[in-house]
Structure 1
Amino acid sequence: MTRHSLAIDIGGTFTDAVMLSSDGESYVDKTLTTHDNLLEGFFRGVELVTSRAGIAPRDVDDVVVHATTVVTNALIERKGPPVALLLTEGFRDVLYIREEHRYDMYDPQIEFAEPLIPAERTFTLKERTYADGSIETPVNADAVRDVIEQCRAKGIVSVAVCFLNSYRNGANEEEVRRIFAEEAPDIYVSLSSVIAPQMREYLRASTVAINAYTVPITRPYLLALVQELEQRGFRQQPLIMLSNGGVIGADRASTMPVRMIESGPAAGALVACYFSRIFDIPDLISFDMGGTTAKACIVQGHEPLVTGTFEVDRRYRFKPGSGMPITVPSIDMIEIGAGGGSIASVDDLGLLRVGPQSAGSMPGPACYGRGGQDACVTDADLVLGILNADRFLGGDMQLDLAASQAAFDRLGDALNLPRNQAAWGVFEVVCEQMAAATRTHATERGIDYRGLPLLAFGGAGPVHACMVAELTESTKVIYPPLASVLSAFGTLVTPVQIDLVRSNVTTLDTLDWDSVGGVLDSMTDEGTAALTEAGMQRDEITFGFSVEMRYLGQQSEVRIALQDDPRRARDTVAIKALFEAEYLRQYGLKLDGMKIEIVSWLVTASGIQPDRSAKKQAHAEIGQGVETRPVHLRDGIRDVAVWQRATITADDLITGPVIIEERETTIFVLEGWDVSLHSSGSLVARKTGEK
């Protein structure tokens, strides 16, 4: 019996839909994202792929997985409802003081992202928990009720609670939530001891503030999604993609939206690992360029790099430290404002600039014919001749070439350049920006990016990947099947998974294993509850353990993956050896005689790896045979061969420059590269002469 699974990935410009059948057949489509009502675009995508597959909603009997930008949009647009912050007395200004770190030491006009919760909606309570978890001053119930009255007067709909040292003992925060549940059950309450139970107060406060800000948006959205799916006849509860690369049930995800910020990009990074195994390439660069942003992630040993802290809403050239930090496990990637909708402009010095502002889906690039006047990256691709105005989305979405040409006439006048040179300039600048971001991301992590293959996907990724590969000194670019909707496909090959972190600071030589056992027990219990809610059976759940350690007195930790459950062996000698080996690998030395400190324990709860694949795709023919069309390149106009991807066979060796079209995207390969078909269905571009 054939089973069907469905994935919907809502991006900044397009909403991608993928339907997979257990026989390997796949059906894909794209529709413009409807920012005013994301569910409208969601179900438009559902209707497109179910109609292509010829099935009804009740026939989707495997999983429904969703990745969404709803949290990111809320943070960038800052159109959320009034939210309050409740802190320990004496620590009212924690979101303003931050960490006292200046991301640019010599800038006298340095700017930071304004806190989501302003001072006038920040309250404090007289309470105190010590660093060892003992409570010196419990919460006063009347004081909490007074805060509730003030919240009602200010129209507050959600509250973040972050008390000092609550990561060691959240009893005072739990008491606040209990009183709010009795007195004001309509107000959402987010606790730092639940959302981010980790040391470092500012990081914890920032994380729980972001969660509280987005819960009133995300929870109704996901509940409405569940209800609408049921009404349409779907039998499955949706799973939601998280930033760590796992999926979890919608109900739990709706209470912790801070874990959904990198929802879609994380799926792309995970599917890059999937293809790294298929090609037996342990290390590669995942390159995902959509309509609004471009994302790069380094894959090492078939696994993505993972981080415990990342930032959103960076205010200064995407510089670390200029945004709002979040301390939750996430796929480590770099994201810049460079997509098909990125707007090209001229700066104060008369130089060409591309992004980070985007035209999005409304009005979109000028060629979308939705009122956009700005010259965008997609307009440049169309003016150059790389894109065909009559074949965008298989001809279902007609592009307006005249509008793109007019936009580049205006930009060219401002730059004192002809239209086509201005368009090629945009193409080169956006590729260099993405290559520079990739180089920086890899170099900051001590990784030599030169020669690493690129996996190119996203709607605009295959158009620009070959140029990015040249700039990063790569000799191989992989264009997988379903490239335009690969992040959506990634959600279907990702296991149900949640990563949990708890700080429990102690030196290694004074480690209390009974205390550690209690911490790890609570984390495995929470992981089990989360995965069973998402449909896993208890015997399908496995756990991985890690620990963050440092030498006593240091500020930053090193993450150590443990080979087994530490509660069994209780072997501090083995843990010390692992730490010293990893520290030596990263820094080239170890500090003999220095005490070692454990800061946090990490538990990954995972379900079984889904056995899904796209062995074949239902192609829509958009052209006949091999054609040629004029394309404006750096050295002038060239007649470039145009192939249809569905017609390429294993016997073909295609020499660049060449354009390869499929319904949802276009591949552009430069001169000096050869393209062939891999047994997986992927196209592989290699530097001429390279194996």
Structure 2
Amino acid sequence: MKRIAVDIGGTFTDCFICWEDKFLQTKALTSHQNLALGFNEAIDNACAELEISRQKLLAEVDSVRYATTLGTNALIERNGPRVGLLTTFGFDSTVPLSRGRGYSEGLPDEEAKDLSRATRPDPLVPIKYIRTVKERVDYRGKVLMDLQEEQTRTAIRELVDLGVQAIVVATINSVENPTHELRVQEIFEEEYPPEMLGSIPMILSHQVVGRKGEYVRTSSSIVDAYLHSTMYFAMSSLEQNLRENGYTKPMLLVHNSGGMAQLNSTDALQTVHSGPVAGIHAAEELSKQSNMDNIVCGDMGGTSFDIGIITKGGEKHYDFNPVVDRWLVTVPMVHLVTLGAGGGSIAKYDSVFNTVKVGPMSAGSDPGPAAYDRGGMNPTVTDADLLLGYLDTKNYANGYIKLNMRRTYQALEDICDELDIEEIEAAKFIKSNADGEMASGLTQELNRQGYKAEDFVFLAYGGNGPLHACGIAERAGINRVLAPPYSSVFSACGGAGLNQMHIHEKNVSYPFFHKNLQAIFSDFDGFNSIVEELEVKGRNDLIRQGISEEQIKYRVELDMRYSIQKMEVSVVAPKTRLESSTDVIQLIETMNADFGSRYGEEIVSPESGVWVGTVRVVSWVELPALKFEDMTPPTTKISTPKPVAYRDCHFVGLEGAQKTPIYDGLALQPGVVIEGPAVVNPGATTYLVEPGWRLESAAQGAVWLLKQ
């Protein structure tokens, strides 16, 4: 197996390479002006270890998998194209009005509750770029009014004359009958052939989203159109870079659904948050292969802290109406909660509460934390870690970056003056607040999903995860932490193990148990025809990418709820077709068990009626997965290696400096046990064993941090 997986983050470009029986992890600073530069540098670092050229490496690998935050950054910076919208006559205010609480979507809780200052975000499609077409389709797909073609031509011409660079078509109930959206596209191509207008994209909403819900379907399509050209040209240039360096196969892009696909089978919206999602997939594989239930993932990089949940059996949670930036969309996305807390998060004085506030703004990679000595003037979490003694100025990120302690002292001056404290106390404030914010995010997310933090293992990864793991876990009430193999590039590692996959779904309204009629669902032919329709879409997606039909597998999922409840749970069907009432009853029983374990047995109420709102088909081809060994610490312990040095470290809650042993990579040998306080720095990342904690090394370089 020879694979390359790359995760482009806000600060670092992480690279994980499978080269037969070797696994390499490298990093480079992200080059935002040209992503290929950081990609090439990360590859070159691996080539130096393998003693081969970049061209030879790329010519021989089976695949290159790429995860990016480019789409997320484009939304944040609002540097996308001018987008126009065509919608059904009378519905032109749907997007400007959004929903009742549209102003709060994507905001932190404290801002969302501040109704006196509530404002909606600047629209991606201003009102002047919205036009309507006269047509009407009812909720069953029946055409009530034919598309008025001459009026449609006029509307298209008006948008083009206004200089729009992408057009979204979102007509009412097009998911039931897309005839009118398809005809609008034909008219557009008749009016403006490609050789005349160029490559202006037209996005049809029914092709982006298979669910009902006019606002979320339209907003999803608008976000997709807004990111389309940015992603297309960036990914095309990256693919061209691969071609120039000897890679001839299709480039694969990681999707936020937990799969991947070729560039020609990827919507721009599917790439948002793809890097952290790849890390969730790696956690899922580790959970399955190690028989480890209940994992809460914490990916702490340079810019953000991403939280995900893996429950019994390696089952990850999905969002089907996630918020992307400030926009509610409706695409299947692995559930993530992202906090603006990373190694590069900027700390500043909070005059209201007379304390230090950390994030959400980040120093990124250019200029980066003050300690990077690249022009950064603001103090960050990394600067606090350096001042507290946890980081090695000469061996940070495998020696790739030399840290400047003097710059850190200078950056902290303003905070120290405002609070009238010394630099060490300021650094403790920063670490304590950052750890507390991340711990609060973990516990809130677990509680929201119906779980208790003490029942979970905290999987800490990312460049800064193992460094802050003990502090986060202590505040969250978690006693067991696992820093997994390849923890500093774990999300890239997850990308190396993904399958090619597509998800298609359709809204339905099926009473699996009808309370009033006291009847079990029996329209098996209708249900199975929908499953077949969705399977055909997934099959066509994969065949288009060169996959043979025999390789394709399918999984059916149903979103189910009780009649008296709004909460839905996603249930995986044991088989892809319904054949009898027994199959329906089995699905209801599965739902009851899942609902009861998450929300409490006392509110399980199938007698009130059970309804299915969505049928979803996952189509995938299974590729060889990365293998994780048993993560259990060995029962046979080996002698602890001697420290390579001692350093004065400072810890929250303890007065004065603590003489702390420093270990190198030998401390990661399976069977090693180290009592805190201690610092382990094998080069790629730093493991901090805080007082009251114990480190136990396991297989593949994995590390357990256990509360004593």
TM-score (structure 2 length as normaliser): 0.90
| Pair 1:573–1:281, CA change in 2 (3 A) | closer
* Alignment deviations for residues 580-629 of structure 1 (CA, whole Å, 9 cap, x no partner): 555555463355664544322101112114233488xxxxxxx9952111
Q: How far off is 1:573 after superposition?
A: 4.7
Query: Matches of residues 162-173 of structure 1 in structure 2 within 5 Å?
Result: 162-173=170-181
Structure 1 Cα separation of the partners of residues 607 and 388 of structure 2: 64
2:416 aligns with 412
Structure 2 Cα separation of the partners of residues 552 and 199 of structure 1: 19
Structure 2 Cα separation of the partners of residues 489 and 271 of structure 1: 7
Letter in 1 for 2:119: E
Structure 2 residue matching 1:197: 3-state secondary structure: coil
- Does 1:281 find its partner at 2:292? yes
1:43 aligns with 40
1:316 aligns with none
Structure 2 residue matching 1:274: 3-state secondary structure: helix
Check conservation: 1:4, 1:59, Cα contact below 8 A: no
Check conservation: 2:35, 2:238, Cα contact below 8 A: no
- The match for 2:268 among 236, 257, 273 is 257
Q: How far off is 1:530 after superposition?
A: 2.2
Check conservation: 1:61, 1:235, Cα contact below 8 A: no
| Pair 1:65–1:344, CA change in 2 (3 A) | same
Check conservation: 2:251, 2:262, Cα contact below 8 A: yes
| Pair 1:567–1:235, CA change in 2 (3 A) | farther
Structure 1 Cα separation of the partners of residues 2 and 642 of structure 2: 31
1:320 aligns with none
| Pair 1:297–1:576, CA change in 2 (3 A) | closer
* Alignment deviations for residues 180-231 of structure 1 (CA, whole Å, 9 cap, x no partner): 2333342211122111121221111111110011011111222222222122
Q: How far off is 1:482 after superposition?
A: 1.4
2:575 aligns with 564
1:459 aligns with 463
2:622 aligns with 608
Check conservation: 1:493, 1:613, Cα contact below 8 A: no
Check conservation: 2:669, 2:698, Cα contact below 8 A: no
1:317 aligns with none
* Alignment deviations for residues 162-186 of structure 1 (CA, whole Å, 9 cap, x no partner): 1111121111111112222333342
* Alignment deviations for residues 235-261 of structure 1 (CA, whole Å, 9 cap, x no partner): 3211111111111112111xx111111
Structure 1 residue matching 2:297: 3-state secondary structure: strand
2:244 aligns with 231
Check conservation: 2:256, 2:333, Cα contact below 8 A: yes
Structure 1 residue matching 2:657: 3-state secondary structure: strand
Q: How far off is 1:643 after superposition?
A: 0.5
Check conservation: 1:166, 1:197, Cα contact below 8 A: no
Q: How far off is 1:645 after superposition?
A: 2.0
1:399 aligns with 403
Structure 2 Cα separation of the partners of residues 610 and 97 of structure 1: 47
- Does 1:202 find its partner at 2:210? no
Query: Matches of residues 505-520 of structure 1 in structure 2 within 5 Å?
Result: 505-508=509-512, 512-520=523-531
Check conservation: 2:88, 2:170, Cα contact below 8 A: yes
Identity across aligned pairs (percent)?
A: 28
Check conservation: 2:668, 2:702, Cα contact below 8 A: no
2:394 aligns with 390
Letter in 2 for 1:35: H
1:8 aligns with 6
- The match for 1:650 among 670, 688, 694 is 670
* Alignment deviations for residues 392-446 of structure 1 (CA, whole Å, 9 cap, x no partner): 1222221221111110122211222111100111011000000000111110110
- Does 1:309 find its partner at 2:321? yes
- The match for 1:333 among 333, 336, 341 is 336
Deviates more, 1:389-398 or 1:647-656: 647-656
Letter in 2 for 1:608: E
Deviates more, 1:95-104 or 1:366-375: 95-104
* Alignment deviations for residues 256-282 of structure 1 (CA, whole Å, 9 cap, x no partner): 111111100001111112222344221
Structure 2 Cα separation of the partners of residues 493 and 131 of structure 1: 41
Structure 2 Cα separation of the partners of residues 649 and 555 of structure 1: 50
* Alignment deviations for residues 81-130 of structure 1 (CA, whole Å, 9 cap, x no partner): 10111111111121232221375567232233332111111111111110
Q: How far off is 1:535 after superposition?
A: 4.5
1:620 aligns with none
Structure 1 Cα separation of the partners of residues 175 and 226 of structure 2: 20
Report how many aligned residue pairs link the two structures. Answer: 668
| Pair 1:106–1:33, CA change in 2 (3 A) | closer
1:629 aligns with 647
Check conservation: 1:549, 1:597, Cα contact below 8 A: yes
Structure 2 Cα separation of the partners of residues 18 and 78 of structure 1: 31
Check conservation: 2:147, 2:180, Cα contact below 8 A: yes
Structure 2 Cα separation of the partners of residues 16 and 614 of structure 1: 20
Letter in 2 for 1:161: V
- Does 1:124 find its partner at 2:135? no
| Pair 1:584–1:30, CA change in 2 (3 A) | closer
Structure 1 residue matching 2:575: 3-state secondary structure: coil
1:668 aligns with 688
| Pair 1:506–1:683, CA change in 2 (3 A) | closer
Structure 1 Cα separation of the partners of residues 74 and 125 of structure 2: 14
Letter in 2 for 1:527: G
Structure 1 residue matching 2:477: 3-state secondary structure: coil
Structure 2 residue matching 1:394: 3-state secondary structure: coil
